Amino acid sequence: MIKILLTLFIFFALSANSFAKEIIYLKCPEIVKKNNSVGVFKDFSPAGKEMGRNYVKITVLKSSARIKLHSAFGDYPSKEKLSEGGPSQKSKLEDGKYTWEDLFSNELIGMVNKFYFSKVNGIWKFTGISMIKDKKKENRDTRYTIAANCEELSKKKI
């Protein structure tokens, strides 16, 4: 009996993607739409500048989705190495958008990254906010509104 349960557990653990309705791979640039940063970062990334790229895997399940995001910083195509990315996050489709968020705070900084992915008229769109508050120094806070169209990729290309 234990062998059967162990076999079933291993099967389900290794085949998590087999329950997916759809797996979507996206390449989304981070284009600054509005820069509300203060101090030294006020003019660092003006509106229209590409701050980086996100490579996204959206696994659409029956009633939710899982989003895995890897970032590359700097102007495209000068990306040298992608970030490791965090764990995939559970997301629900709300108002036609999947949401990915990263919240972090310690004694030095507070950080919020909240990204939305939606498909409008067959085109994947990326919108979001990126904010960092320096708790030790004044005039070093970043606040960006970012958005762009995403390119849908095949699994081989990602």
User: What's the pLDDT tens digit per position in 11-61?
Assistant: 555 555 556 788 999 999 989 999 998 887 788 888 898 888 888 999 988
pLDDT of 63 strictly over 90: no
Cβ(130)–Cβ(137) under 8 Å?
A: no
**1-5, 47-51, 118-122, range with the lowest pLDDT:** 1-5
pLDDT of 78 strictly over 90: no
Q: Which residue reads 């290794």 in tokens?
A: 14
Q: Which residue reads 């949401």 in tokens?
A: 99
Residue 13 CA, chain-centre distance (Å), reads 24
What is the token pair recorded at 26? 């996206």
Distances (CA, A) of 121 to 85, 118, 126, 149, 153: 29, 10, 14, 12, 17
HEC profile for 33-84? EEECCCHHHCCCCCCCCEEEEEEEEEEECCCCEEEEEEEEECCCCCCCCCCC
Distances (CA, A) of 146 to 6, 68, 83, 102: 46, 19, 19, 15
Please tell me which residue, 10 or 68, carries the higher pLDDT value: 68
* Dist CA 94 CA 97 (whole Å): 5
Q: Which amino acid is at 15?
A: S
Cβ(113)–Cβ(101) under 8 Å?
A: yes
Helix (H/G/I), strand (E/B), else coil: 13: helix
What does the pLDDT read at residue 87?
66
Q: Which residue reads 């606040």 in tokens?
A: 143
What does the pLDDT read at residue 93?
82
